[in-house]
Structure formats: C-alpha cells, structure tokens
Copies of this chain bind each other. A is one copy, B any other.
Amino acid sequence: MHQIIGDMELDTNGPSLIDITRHIASWIKINKLEKGILNLHILHTSASLLIQENADPDVLQDLLNFYSKIAPTNNNYKHQSEGKDDMPAHIKSSLTNTSLSISVQQRKLMLGTWQGIYLFEHREKSMTRKVNLHFLGQ
C-alpha cells in the first residue's frame, strides 16, 4: 500500500464544463496505479468538479444554463469586490463538488460507460485552475 501525489493545471476561458477524464486516466497509467482510491481536489471556490454524462454535449449546455439561472449574475449580492460573476461562482461551487473520490481498479478509473470527470469553470474571465491528485492504494 502506498501513496502517490500529483497535480494538474488547466487554463479556462469562461463558464464551461471541461472534460479532464483523459488527463486523470493517463496520470494513473504513467504512475502504474493498480488499485486504490483517488482523491481529486480543486484548490478554488469559484470553480468545481463534477461527474456527468459525456455522451450528448447538449447536457453540458443545459447544465450551464441551469446553474446560470439558479445563481444569476445580476443579483443583490453583498460580495461584489471581485466582479459580479464571483459570488454566483461561489454559489455554483457550493452546489457541486470541491473534491471527488474515485475508485481505481486494474489501472482504470471505475466510471460508468457514460460518465466523465469535469472541471466546472464558473468565472467569466480567463483563469488558471489547479487540481490536486492524491492516490492511496497499490
């Protein structure tokens, strides 16, 4: 039983769901991780992580629309100092995930056929996002 730690960095350009499954899968292969639990943690609170359907891109668009509607930009938020899209970003982060724990088996992520791992960017301006990877297993 051992632990492997890594990180990934991703540049984003506005609200979107970015499929990072391949990045994670190749990190597992490179490090020859057989079986264990992988913890992903995004080091921000205005972007988040989400496991969602990877088949129809319309699903991602509908998710973006839903979250824009539930936490609209033009609301009377007290927190305005970092731009009017920052508070909605924190709300969307709170409704989704900052960390995810995923099973690794036979050097593969244990995901359903239609599941992908997404970095969910909520800010409008370009950002550089960091995700920490922590594997515990063999």
- A3-B35, A79-B56, A101-B101 known; A91+B62 contact, CB < 8 A: yes
- A76-132 contacts to B, CB under 8 A, are 77-79, 81-82, 87, 90-91, 93-103, 105, 110-115, 130, 132
Task: Give the CA-CA distance A74 to B126 in the complex, in Å.
Answer: 34
Distance (Å) between the CB of A86 and the closest chain B CB?
A: 8
B-chain residues with CB within 8 Å of residue A82 when the two chains form the complex: 56
Contact A59 B41 (CB under 8 A): no
Is A21's beta carbon under 8 Å from chain B? no
What is A's interface to B at a CB cutoff of 8 Å?
A: 1, 3, 5, 35-37, 39, 41-46, 50-53, 56, 58-59, 61-63, 66, 70-71, 77-79, 81-82, 87, 90-91, 93-103, 105, 110-115, 130, 132, 134, 136-138
**Contacts A/B (CB < 8 Å), 12 sampled:** A41-B103, A41-B110, A52-B94, A53-B90, A58-B77, A62-B78, A62-B87, A94-B96, A97-B97, A99-B102, A101-B101, A105-B134
